[in-house]
Amino acid sequence: MAVGIKVLERKPLTWSERMYLPEIAAGLRRTWRLMWKPKVTIEYPEQRPPIPAGYRGAPTLVMDPNGREKCVSCQLCEFVCPPKAIRITPGEIPADSPHAHVEKAPQEFEIDMLRCIYCGLCQEVCPEEAIWLQTTYSITHTSRADFVHNKKKLYEMGGTLPDEHFKWDKKLAAEKHGNAH
């Protein structure tokens, strides 16, 4: 026998323990009690559970009430994204455009939803409030390529967000006012 090994003696089982009668009775009691409780099952997807406050869902791009892109390609969301799920290709706005004062707009904007960890850092860091986390939590597709949401898909999911600041309008008004003096 090896040194340091201690053999523990088991106490013998009683007759009722060998027959498992207490365990069977306990299981039947529980079943009987649960038969009379109300059902908690919901019929998903027709019925959906309530979404808690502060839920971080799928990131999307939103437009301002005038239908303009709010994203100015600052790329802060791309830099802060821990799994590097966001990819932005900045594009220039033509000088003759009424939005030329914004300097940049995204030429391409993609979010790989398979890499996204729904942390919400992209929404927090966005200075123009262009990224919003929606309450969508069941995103399904048939291929991996469909999970890479391009700019068009992100705007479809995000839609228009009421903007109390009208940041671009204030910039325009300030430029016009500054040039008038």
Q: Which two tokens stand for residue 128?
A: 């123009």
| pLDDT value of residue 107 | 92
Closest CA to 111 of 88, 132, 85: 85
Q: Contact 51/135 with Cβ under 8 angstroms?
A: yes
Low pLDDT (below 70) residues in the chain: 1-2, 99-103, 164-181
- Residues contacting 148, CB < 8 A, separation 6+: 110, 111, 112, 113, 114
| pLDDT value of residue 104 | 81
Question: Phi, psi at residue 86, to the nearest 5°?
Answer: -105, 135
| pLDDT value of residue 181 | 47
- Of the candidate CATH numbers 3.30.1300.10, 3.30.420.40, 3.30.70.3270, 3.40.50.300, the domain formed by 59-157 belongs to 3.30.70.3270
> Would you kindly state where each structural domain of the chain is located, as residue ranges?
59-157
| pLDDT value of residue 99 | 67
Considering the entire predicted model, what is its pTM?
Answer: 0.67
Following DSSP, what letter does each residue of the chain receive, concatenated? --TT--PPPPPPPPHHHHHTHHHHHHHHHHHHHHHTSPP----TTTS-PPPPTT----EEE-B-TTS-B------HHHHH-TT--EEEEEEEPPTTSTTGGG-EEEEEEEEETTT-----HHHHH-TT--EEE-S------SSSGGGEE-HHHHHHHH-B---SS-HHHHHHHHHHHHHH-
